[in-house]
Each structure stands twice: as structure tokens, then as C-alpha cells.
């Protein structure tokens, strides 16, 4: 029933959904292309993405900082034209960050980036703004142990912003029961 299935970061490798066809359809992958072993983000595997038939990688963090620019350079070197990709527009990213008052997560960027492509329906499954651990195998335990200490993303601000946005756009956005709760 879905024209396009979008997944985030490690969902391809680690998350299993109730709808089996979603597990095997990988049209777009939003991936932060950040390798930060201290936070539990181990190296991504572009060959694995190709094997899993990812059609397009969308990188949510444009080169607005030296750190993000370095991540993009590393990705481009590893990718070596194996998979098609694009990067979220700098102005869009900065506007979203300013409106949130925090650095947005990959999922938050994906939601808004996709919404502004004007889909008929944007169905969101498997996202909880890091409130529940939707899938316990999604991130390494070290990440969950440190997430409370993280100053990069204020999950509460992102969730509150999304709630307001969802309430204004619930005719287009459909969310799963986990996110509703």
C-alpha cells in the first residue's frame, strides 16, 4: 500500500516491522553518515545498503559545520558512486534547527523533509523520538546508556514541535499507535 518506504539510519539492519513487505522494501534511507563509536554508532556498510536494494540515500546533515562536512567527505569516499544520494538543503536544515531550538535527529529531519515534498499521505511507523526504545536492537546499549547525557538533541523539544505540527496536519500525517501513545 506504500508507494515509497523510507527508513532511518540502522533500520535496514536492525528493525523488523509487523508488515513483512516493509522489511524488504528500501526505497530511501535517511542516514546521518556519522561514525561515532563512543555513542554506539558503528561504521555503516554501503555494500549492505546496495544488497538490501536501497534506491537512494538522503543525508540529513548538510555541511553547515566542519563536523558534518567531514562526515560527508568520508561518505563520498566510501560510497565511490555505489549508491545514489542527496543531501538535505542547508537552508531547510538551518530553518528547522532554529524552529526546534535544538539539533534535529535524523528522524525529525526526515519527517519534515518528506512532508514538504507534499505527499498525499505520510505514514510514520517506528519512530518514538527516543522515548520508548521502539526496537531494542536498533542502537547498541552504550548509546542508550549515554543518551540522557547527550547535549546534541533535545528529544522533548522535537516531540513537542512534532505534536503541534501533527495536530495541524493530521489529514496528511498518519502515525502508529506507539507514537500516538
Q: What is the pLDDT of residues 15-35, one digit of tens each?
A: 565 566 566 678 999 999 988
The predicted-structure confidence for 49-104, as pLDDT tens digits, reads as follows 999 899 999 999 999 999 999 999 999 999 999 999 999 999 999 999 999 999 99
Q: Would you tell me the crossing angle of helices 90-100 and 155-168 to the nearest 10 degrees?
A: 100
List pLDDT tens digits, range 116-135: 999 999 998 878 787 665 44
20 CA to centre of own chain? 20
- The residue among 129, 135, 109, 172 whose CA lies nearest residue 22 is 135
Amino acid at each position: 500500500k506504500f508507494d515509497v518506504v523510507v527508513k532511518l539510519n540502522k533500520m535496514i539492519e536492525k528493525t523488523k516491522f509487523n508488515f513483512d513487505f516493509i522489511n524488504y522494501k528500501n526505497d530511501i534511507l535517511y542516514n546521518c553518515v556519522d561514525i561515532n563509536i563512543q555513542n554506539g554508532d558503528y561504521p555503516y556498510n554501503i555494500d549492505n545498503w546496495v544488497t538490501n536494494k536501497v534506491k537512494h540515500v538522503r543525508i540529513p546533515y548538510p555541511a553547515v559545520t566542519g563536523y558534518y562536512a567531514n562526515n560527508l567527505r568520508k561518505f563520498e569516499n566510501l560510497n565511490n558512486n555505489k549508491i545514489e544520494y542527496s543531501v538535505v538543503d542547508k537552508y531547510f536544515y538551518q530553518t528547522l534547527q532554529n524552529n526546534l531550538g535544538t539539533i534535529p535527529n535524523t528522524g525529525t529531519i526526515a519527517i519534515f523533509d518528506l512532508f514538504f515534498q507534499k505527499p498525499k499521505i505520510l505514514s510514520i511507523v517506528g519512530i518514538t523520538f527516543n522515548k520508548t526504545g521502539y526496537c531494542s536492537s536498533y542502537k547498541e546499549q552504550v548509546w542508550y546508556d549515554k543518551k540522557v547525557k547527550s547535549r546534541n538533541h533535545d528529544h522533548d523539544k522535537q516531540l513537542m514541535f512534532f505534536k503541534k505540527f501533527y495536530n495541524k496536519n493530521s489529514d496528511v500525517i498518519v502515525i502508529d499507535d506507539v507514537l500516538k501513545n
